[in-house]
Structure 1
Amino acid sequence: MSSEIQAANTYPHEKNDVQHVGDVKTEANFRQDAMEAESAEFNMTVMEAVKAYPMACFWSFIMSSTIIMEAYCVFLMGSFVALPKFRLDYGIPDGSGGFVIETSWQSALQCGGPVGALIGVFIAGPIAAAIGYRWACIGGLMFLNATIFIMFFANSLGVFFASQLLEGISWGIFIAISPAYCSEIVPMRLRAPATQVLQLFWALGAIIVGGVCYAYQPLLTTAAYRIPTALQWMFPTPLAVLMFLAPESPWWLVRKGRMEQAARSVVRLGRKSLVQPQEAVAMMRRVIDQESHENPSLLELFKGTDLRRTLIVCGIYAAQNLAGNLIANQAVFFFEQAGMDTNTAFALGLITSALQAVFVMGSWGLTTYFGRRTIYLWGTGFNVVMLFALGIAASVGQSTAASNAQAAFGLIVSVWFTFTAAPVSWAVIGETSSIRLRPLTTGVGRASYYIINIPCIFLSSWMLNPTGAALFGKCGYVWGGTALFTLVVAYFCLPEYKGRSYRELDILFRRKVAARKFSKTQINLEEDE
């Protein structure tokens, strides 16, 4: 059967587009084009990939920057509970002459966003699958613009909670579609750094909010928290304009049978002299032709080999809450409870965020050359040790040395997480699912993050708050235990994706290859099953 006939049967409404993309006359030639494109990606170095696809790097960078807004608001609420004016306006006496946000409200404020995001991630997958990543992102940005008004004019903790809930819907859309879009528009060698940029922007969002809150925290007027709230408007509109100009993922276009547009998208993403759009589209068709052409549904995520892929994505997302990451999200409050004064706590929070940004950039090369599984296991193992060390430091009595040790271990845990496990997680999330189910898988995976995140926020606030358990640094024992659990599960379940094309990953999952054998299993360029 000729490739033209096959394409017409698969995508009947786009027959002319398929013919126009390339003069592919035989199935053998179609396969040859696909194999040449895949072979070219295998033979590329990282720098060659950057030179061949500079605009793919740029648009991946733009899409990833939407994560700034989630990070900004997550850390904003974490900083507000430590902000003197916010505590004075909405807190209760702490018994020592100051004020503190009640434990239940402290947890609720930090859970509002994740609850909203849980809604967002479930609607993001079907929306992106139907209208594409670009328009889904633009819609989320415009909705966020509107909901920021609610937070800016909030005059009670209940309204702050409602604003977080509504803003969280947009966060869910961004976080669900960004890894999928970034992993699809870049060549294989750039998949890890392109998705790991998400962690960089998370750190940048924390830096921005840390700097803003540090500057305004001495004020004893509502400007101390109104201005940091208003600065959220810096991001949505400019990003919406840029996303309107961005190319759609060629993989999404091929899934829709829009071959001509997919070819144009490939040209826009790379240098014309270095990319072959006909071959690239053929490679995408080869992978997608092995999948069902029915409209994807959530139920498919939990059937056959897709169940395993869904569980890996859900597990890697959920594990982000269990390896001490919540210490980073509440860094300022943690440092205060460790014995630092307010100025020092805010300064240390800002230093932590700055170090995270630096270490995230260092992780790009680390993951590219050493792989995902290796870095995740060793990185999580080190954090287990540091978390238990934090617990021990908090158990030796109250002293300046003990407080400094707790602050140091808390900082190390927060920074090391963004050097190893966190950025690796984004690469795994972007690579694990099948192409067809990717928007749905990343959405459901992120939902698992929030399902674990919400009770963990309550637990973390309760452990740190003086009106709760008042464990302070002893929370290291709890997070050390949960991190150890994630390490054991990852050892048996997390495969190695380094140097694998999407075709190879599909074959490995269909063959049910054990996670520890992924890196050693050979897949020939000619194989489809």
Structure 2
Amino acid sequence: MSNDVEKSKDGLQGEHVDIDHVELKQNPDLMREAFDGENREHEMGVWEAAKTHPWACFWAFIMCFTIVMESFDMFLNTNFVALTKFKEVYGVAVAGSTEKVIPTRWQSALFQSGQCGAFIGVFLAGPITNRIGYRWTCILGLILMNATIFVSFFANSLAVMVVGQALEGVPWGLFIANSPAYASEIVPLALRGACTATLQMSWSIGSIIVAGACYCYNHRQDDWAWRAPLALQWMFPTPLLILVFLAPESPWWLIRRGRKEEALRSIKRLGKEKEEEAHQALAMMERTIEIEKEQGGNPSLIDLFKGTDLRRTAIACFCYAGQNFAGNLIANQATFFFEQAGMSSDRAFQLNLVNSCLQFVANALSWVITAWFGRRTVYLWGTATNITLLIILGIVASIEQNNSTNLAQASLGILISFVFAGTLGPISYTIISETSSVRLRALSTGVGRAAYYLAEIPMIYLSSKMLNTTGWNLAGKCGYVWAGTACVCWILAYFFLPELKHRTYREADILFNRKVPARKFKSTVIAVDENE
């Protein structure tokens, strides 16, 4: 074992090391340690886990905070189409209007180009992560991010800006594929929901900064009206790169690579400082990895679509793609939505800032919600609430319009965003990170996010078409469309979404291997000594 570990160190994390893990099932002492480690995970409450593992929470947040760059850029583009000077330079005149507008095709291109780049990035993330680890993959993405921002910043046409967004999208894909996986692997079981939910909080932080910057620069009469907000992107990558370099690697990834000693050091850095607890956690991880190892060798994309892993992949894809069908695109295009709902440009930017701050509050509330309620419960009730609100939005937009109905549409848009940010958004990341097997996690989160982009790209076009005055000009009537798609999501979730709260990765493996129906996951008992 020691020789193999040395080999892996010399390979600078790059070369795969095939190591036979300790046969835990034939070693009573190590099995006992694995039992104790898993029991300790189940017994630990949220507050106790947070007090004893503050560094694990910190490093999980840092990795999740990389998502702020995707959020920042995505919300920036949706604000640009409502920015006065940007419309003046790149917009076209519309009959009956004193203001220019960005044509629908360019709106869609600006919104979609980053997602197209990210689509490539998420497929690259799995193989790269399996080879060099979560930390070095993230560092690579941050270096690329620093470089690609130059293209957007110096762009002098919409075409060049679209290319810049596409290039920036590649590192976004690396971040979004790895962040939920890394966060779920380094924190105790009780904190998984809260820590993976910080991904949605990073989205809100990005949108708050963008909303504030665009509101401040909306009245500028030069190119800095949009170049200054673009330049603000450079404040993220370098500080994050330093912090990620200092972060510990996921012990699960290290054990899979046969680097047991490094995994033990990582476990201690993450909060289990006592030797006994650290070894128990190590044994628990080794046991789970050995069980999964019996199902296949080196992970590949094809494995995601074989046997029980196909079901797990489908759930990850559904949760990610479903985010686009329950009102989320109203939140992502909030400023433009407020303008189409009858608000002035200044008021639209003000409401967008309020909306972003309320989303942050909702994200914080989601920590309490995930601690008290199951993943399935939060998803179903959150979706049902937004279906109701979306139908009401459609009704309000269908009656005769005046200042009161305009304000009502804007308020409902904010409320829909608030509900999404407190339920559907954060809980989706938790479900995705818990559903995939340890062996395929890096690949599964990437493919799941790819499903998100596959759904989002046409939905962005549809959303722009519905809101734009040069398109269908539906304003709040789009609520009927999103309510219909959200209903489909609710039905699919009711029948196929399992409950994995308080389940270790070993228990999740067993439940899926036994093909337990989704609605029986919560009630099925898995003993601590079961391996199959």
TM-score range, shorter chain: over 0.9
Q: What stretches of structure 1 of length at least 5 have no aligned partner?
A: 1-6
Paired amino acid for 2:118 = A
Q: How much has 1:367 moved relative to structure 2?
A: 1.1
Paired amino acid for 1:381 = A
Whole-Å separation in 2 of the counterparts to 1:10 and 1:286: 19
Paired amino acid for 1:110 = F
Query: What residue number does 1:93 align with?
Result: 93
Q: How much has 1:336 moved relative to structure 2?
A: 0.3
Whole-Å separation in 2 of the counterparts to 1:274 and 1:57: 20
The yes-or-no answer on 1:511 pairing with 2:530 is no
Q: Deviations over 1:357-400 (max 9, x none)?
A: 01111111111211100011011001000001111000002211
The yes-or-no answer on 1:402 pairing with 2:405 is yes
Query: What residue number does 1:278 align with?
Result: 279
Query: What residue number does 1:265 align with?
Result: 266
Query: What residue number does 1:4 align with?
Result: none
Residue correspondence of structure 1 range 324-403 to structure 2 within 5 A? 324-403=327-406
Query: What residue number does 1:181 align with?
Result: 182
Q: SS where residue 86 of structure 1 aligns?
A: helix
Q: How much has 1:492 moved relative to structure 2?
A: 0.4
Using the TM superposition, name which of 48-57 and 223-232 deviates more: 48-57
Whole-Å separation in 2 of the counterparts to 1:330 and 1:492: 31
Identity %: 55
Q: Deviations over 1:53-94 (max 9, x none)?
A: 111001001101101100000000000000000000101012
Paired amino acid for 1:42 = H
Q: Deviations over 1:242-267 (max 9, x none)?
A: 11111000000011011000000001
The yes-or-no answer on 1:208 pairing with 2:209 is yes
Q: How much has 1:276 moved relative to structure 2?
A: 1.7
The yes-or-no answer on 1:472 pairing with 2:475 is yes
Change (3 A) 1:314 1:26: closer
Q: How much has 1:97 moved relative to structure 2?
A: 1.7
Q: How much has 1:8 moved relative to structure 2?
A: 9.2
Query: What residue number does 2:236 align with?
Result: 235
Whole-Å separation in 2 of the counterparts to 1:117 and 1:405: 35
Q: How much has 1:36 moved relative to structure 2?
A: 0.4
Query: What residue number does 1:197 align with?
Result: 198
The yes-or-no answer on 1:488 pairing with 2:511 is no
Q: How much has 1:273 moved relative to structure 2?
A: 4.0
Query: What residue number does 2:61 align with?
Result: 61
Q: Is the 8 Å Cα contact of residues 267 and 275 (structure 1) preserved in structure 2?
A: no
Q: How much has 1:271 moved relative to structure 2?
A: 4.8
Q: Deviations over 1:98-134 (max 9, x none)?
A: 1100011011110000000000000001101110000
Whole-Å separation in 2 of the counterparts to 1:197 and 1:129: 24
Query: What residue number does 1:109 align with?
Result: 110
Query: What residue number does 2:142 align with?
Result: 141
Query: What residue number does 1:166 align with?
Result: 167
Q: How much has 1:294 moved relative to structure 2?
A: 1.9
Whole-Å separation in 2 of the counterparts to 1:271 and 1:298: 33
Whole-Å separation in 1 of the counterparts to 2:5 and 2:313: 27
Change (3 A) 1:229 1:516: same
Change (3 A) 1:287 1:12: farther
Change (3 A) 1:266 1:333: same
Whole-Å separation in 2 of the counterparts to 1:73 and 1:195: 21
Query: What residue number does 1:3 align with?
Result: none
Whole-Å separation in 1 of the counterparts to 2:25 and 2:155: 64
Whole-Å separation in 1 of the counterparts to 2:174 and 2:284: 28
Using the TM superposition, name which of 24-33 and 397-406 deviates more: 24-33
Q: Which contiguous aligned blocks of 4+ residues in structure 1 show a shift greater than 3 angstroms?
A: 7-14
Paired amino acid for 2:488 = F
Q: Deviations over 1:202-255 (max 9, x none)?
A: 000000000000111111111110100000000001101111111000000011
Q: Is the 8 Å Cα contact of residues 296 and 437 (structure 1) preserved in structure 2?
A: yes
Query: What residue number does 1:38 align with?
Result: 38
Q: Is the 8 Å Cα contact of residues 54 and 271 (structure 1) preserved in structure 2?
A: no
Note the aligned Cα RMSD (angstroms).
Answer: 2.0
Whole-Å separation in 2 of the counterparts to 1:9 and 1:313: 38
Query: What residue number does 1:73 align with?
Result: 73
Q: How much has 1:275 moved relative to structure 2?
A: 6.8
Residue correspondence of structure 1 range 243-254 to structure 2 within 5 A? 243-254=244-255
Whole-Å separation in 1 of the counterparts to 2:241 and 2:316: 28
Paired amino acid for 1:86 = F
Whole-Å separation in 2 of the counterparts to 1:274 and 1:397: 70
Paired amino acid for 1:189 = A
Paired amino acid for 2:346 = N
Q: How much has 1:274 moved relative to structure 2?
A: 8.4
Paired amino acid for 2:418 = V
Whole-Å separation in 1 of the counterparts to 2:2 and 2:132: 22
The yes-or-no answer on 1:458 pairing with 2:461 is yes
Of residues 488, 498, 501, the one that matches 1:498 is 501
Q: Deviations over 1:143-186 (max 9, x none)?
A: 01000000000000000100000000011100000000000000
Whole-Å separation in 2 of the counterparts to 1:102 and 1:336: 16
Query: What residue number does 1:309 align with?
Result: 312
Whole-Å separation in 1 of the counterparts to 2:37 and 2:140: 34
Using the TM superposition, name which of 147-156 and 47-56 deviates more: 47-56
Q: Is the 8 Å Cα contact of residues 379 and 423 (structure 2) preserved in structure 1?
A: yes
Whole-Å separation in 1 of the counterparts to 2:292 and 2:510: 11
Whole-Å separation in 2 of the counterparts to 1:83 and 1:333: 9
Q: SS where residue 99 of structure 1 aligns?
A: coil
Whole-Å separation in 2 of the counterparts to 1:214 and 1:274: 53
